[in-house]
Amino acid sequence: MLQTVAFVIVAGIAFGYSGFRFAKLFQLLKSMKGRTPKFGRVAERIVTATVDILGQRAVLRDPWIGVAHTMIFWGFLIITLGTLEQFAMTLNEGWTFEFIGQTAYSALIWSQDFFTAFVLYGILYAAYRRLVKRPKNLGQSQDANNILMFTGSLMVSIFLMNSFHVLGSDPWFKDSYFISKHLASVFGGLGFSTETNHGLYIFFKWLHMSLVLGFAMYIPGSKHLHILAAGPNTALKHLDVAKGMRTLNFADETLTQYGAAKITDLSWKDALDLYSCTECGRCEALCPAWNTEKPLSPKSIIIDMKKNLYANKDLILAGKADEVTSLIDARVTDDVIWACTSCRACEVACPVFIEHTDKIFDARRNLVMMESRFPVEVQPVFKNMETNGTPWAFSASERANWAEGLGIPTMAENPTIEVLLWVGCAGSYDERNKNVLKSFVNVLKRAEVKFAILGTEEQCTGDAARRIGNEYLFQSLAQTNVETLNRYAVKDIVTACPHCFNTLKNEYKDFGGTYNVMHHSEFMAKLVATGKLKPTQEVAKKITFHDSCYLGRWNNVYEEPRSVISAIPNVELVEMKQNRKDGMCCGAGGGRMWMEETIGRRVNVVRTEQALETGAPVIASSCPFCMTMLSDGVKTKDKVDSVRVLDIAELMDASTS
């Protein structure tokens, strides 16, 4: 009776305190003012969440620690059944799971003993990795060390409890203790009486339950909040690789804040992201900004935003929104926000599906539209887009000059042509990329594709404006382009620019523009597969390919560019160490194409070094921004005479000529 009363008091205090803290965290979620994302496709979410949570699919991308984490995860699921039974038996000795039958109960006891060892092994490996191997991206965390100590102590207490249970009570299922019965034989050599062994069983049982209750109290304020938050976050993840940025409704007169000035301007899903972070550092390991000594760490920005949320929790819960401190603070600085290349390596790597870029984009929107605070070199880019419909200081009337003499009709001249070639600003104005478009035109003509361009009616898609934070300018350009495209009833679009591709495909939908958009790599791959293009000429013996972030990580197009290259006779495609979803950004995305890089090493030079390591004399690209950055990198490394940077359209043009 005394044990029961004591347990009720202790457990009541522990669970009451834990519940109180969880309630506060839930209230914080509800206090977020940002636009709530839409969640549909329930059946698909259930399936993917089951695979990702129970199957630990995302965690297992990193095999060694992934296996250890999976062992700990599954171990806790099984062991928790035993803990619940101990709680129940403390309240009433007859409340056990023995009602399931001797065979099933014996199997349960065996599995719990087995999984206790399973978890302990995982904990030991995690401790070794954190304290001995110390991978750079993991960092040092006393919180993580505390969790390892807590969890390890829990497993040891279970073995000691079970061992002395065997010695002190001689339960009928003692042979089902897979490991504990062997430990009991060791402890039996100590010569303790049956009463002493039973007393030790009670002691370690209480130690185990106390550790569990202490763990429950510790979780709400630790990084292991992800134990409860990561499941819902996984279920609510963005299901498709492709996605567009959140759209602001400027027609909404109640909307007075554009972007995120304070932590509360983010959405409750953003806050759930903050709760879910495991601080594993996988995002940081792939971040091009962090790996070139920039102040941005995708792991740190999530942790720092969570610290901001917690620091303001009393003001938020008291309804004092005006007194909440700025999102941009001593930790999340302007340099942190502007360092992002929006490559999404962090999001692809994250095992709990945190969306880092949404938060950075919202912070930029506030800086640009509310505070007019942005890198000075961006000002002429905005002005050029407003006046000329292009980031470059060229007249809109010159947009179609590149096509003179090529015999390409415009949609105005032949509105019945089914395929629209979206040229993009780089193809229209950049001298190097004009050649890429001309090569692609040659390829299309050889395949007898009927196509047209918009000519001077085409404007910048607004990609750079949106990602820098000027949503208003982006929407102005988007609405104009959608009106033009819809006027010609355009259905099929092909473009050589991944940034135009992503914007036309994933973002114009919000403005009434739904089209079948293909990147030129996809289009050429299809032409080769159907026999309309037949590469016959050898171009280079060895080629390495650089993945564009807005083609790969933003739209899951990895194999098509490679199939185009592989179709060329006698070519060897050699991969860089970082390729496909792990590929390194060129440094131009997220508007960085138009900003100076003054901190740390240059991203494009580091990526070029990775390409040069392959020994390939040709670096293939499928993006005008990537081509510019890699070409500059080759110049910086004094390799212009021995290494060429070519678009895959140029390779196909040379091979089919």
Confidence of residue 149 (pLDDT cuts 50, 70, 90): confident
Q: How far is CA 277 from the centre of its chain?
A: 11
**Do 314 and 172 lie in a common domain?**
no
Sheet harboring 419-422: ordered strands across?
451-452, 419-422, 492-495, 516-519
How deeply is 465 buried, as exposed, middle or buried, from its count of CB atoms within 10 A (0-12, 13-18, 19+)?
buried
Q: Tell me whether residue 132 is exposed, middle or buried, using C-beta atoms within 10 angstroms of its C-beta: 0 to 12, 13 to 18, 19 or more.
A: exposed
Q: Specify whether 97 is located in the same domain as 215.
A: yes
Dist. CA 265–CA 365, nearest whole Å: 11
Q: Is 252 a member of any domain?
A: no
pLDDT digits (tens, 9 = 90+) for 332-384: 999 999 999 999 999 999 999 999 999 999 999 999 999 999 999 999 999 99
Q: Is 45 helix (H, G, I), strand (E, B) or coil?
A: helix
Q: Is residue 247 over pLDDT 90?
A: yes
Domain stop point among 373, 406, 436: 373
SS3 621: strand
Is the same domain home to 365 and 405? no
Q: Are residues 506 and 587 in the same domain?
A: no
- Statement to judge: residues 106 and 230 lie in one domain: yes
Same domain for 337 and 449, yes or no, is: no
- pLDDT category, 603, cuts 50, 70, 90? very high
CA distances from 16 to 93, 212, 213, 318 (A): 24, 14, 11, 22
Number of domains in the chain: 4
Strand-strand pairing, 542-545 and 618-621: parallel
Decide if 12 is inside a domain: yes
Residue 56 lies in a domain: no
Q: How far apart are CA 456 and CA 514, in angstroms?
A: 22
Tell me the percentage of the chain whose pLDDT exceeds 90.
Answer: 71
Distance (Å, rounded) from C-alpha 46 to C-alpha 627? 41
**Average pLDDT, stretch 312-318?**
94
Q: Confirm whether 253 is domain-assigned.
A: no
CATH code, 651: 3.40.50
Query: Bridge partners of 419?
Result: 451, 492
Task: Compute the distance between CA of residue 60 and CA of residue 201 in angstroms, rounded to an integer.
Answer: 37
The predicted pLDDT at position 142 comes to: 80
How many angstroms separate the CA atoms of 284 and 356, rounded? Answer: 11
Q: Which domain holds residue 398?
A: 386-527
* Whether residue 166 sits in one domain with residue 20: yes
Which CATH number covers residue 91? Answer: 1.20.950.20
8 Å CB contact between 66 and 349: no
CA dihedral 483, 485, 473, 434 (to 10 degrees): -150
Distances (CA, A) of 356 to 24, 296, 340, 352, 547: 24, 11, 10, 12, 21
Same-domain pairing of 90 and 202: yes
Indicate if 464 and 347 belong to the same structural domain. no
pLDDT category, 616, cuts 50, 70, 90? very high
Is 45 part of a structural domain of the chain? no
Tokens (6 digits) for 321: 């929104």
pLDDT greater than 80 at residue 139: no
Phi then psi dihedrals of residue 603, to 5 deg: -60, -45
Residue 440 falls within a domain, yes or no? yes
Quick one: which of 131, 121, 116, 115 has its CA closest to 64?
121
What are the tens digits of pLDDT across the range 461-491? 999 999 999 999 999 999 999 999 999 999 9
Of 235, 255, 271, the last residue of a domain is 235
Q: Nearest Cα to 433, choosing from 442, 446, 424? A: 424
Which residues are registered as beta bridge partners of 371? none
Q: What CA–CA distance (Å, rounded) separates 486 from 454?
A: 12
- 139 with 172, same domain: the answer is yes
For position 134, what pLDDT does the model report? 81
Closest CA to 557 of 590, 518, 584, 611: 518
Distance (Å) of CA 156 to CA 180, 256, 423, 521: 11, 56, 65, 57
Q: What CATH number corresponds to the domain at position 351?
A: 1.10.1060.10
Residues 158-209 pLDDT 10s: 999 999 998 988 888 888 888 898 898 898 888 888 999 999 999 999 999 9
Residues 199 and 112 in one domain: yes
Residue 360, Cα to own-chain centre: how many angstroms?
Answer: 13
**328 and 190 co-located in one domain:** no
| Tokens (6 digits) for 352 | 């709990």
Q: Give the model's pLDDT for residue 73.
A: 85
Q: What is the mean pLDDT of residues 236-246?
A: 91
For residue 84, being part of any structural domain is answered with yes
Domain boundary among 496, 527, 558: 527
What's the whole-model pTM score? 0.91
Diameter over CA atoms, the chain: 102
**Using an 8 Å Cβ cutoff, are 48 and 290 in contact?**
no
270, part of any domain:
yes
pLDDT in tens, 71-102: 888 888 888 888 888 888 888 877 888 888 89
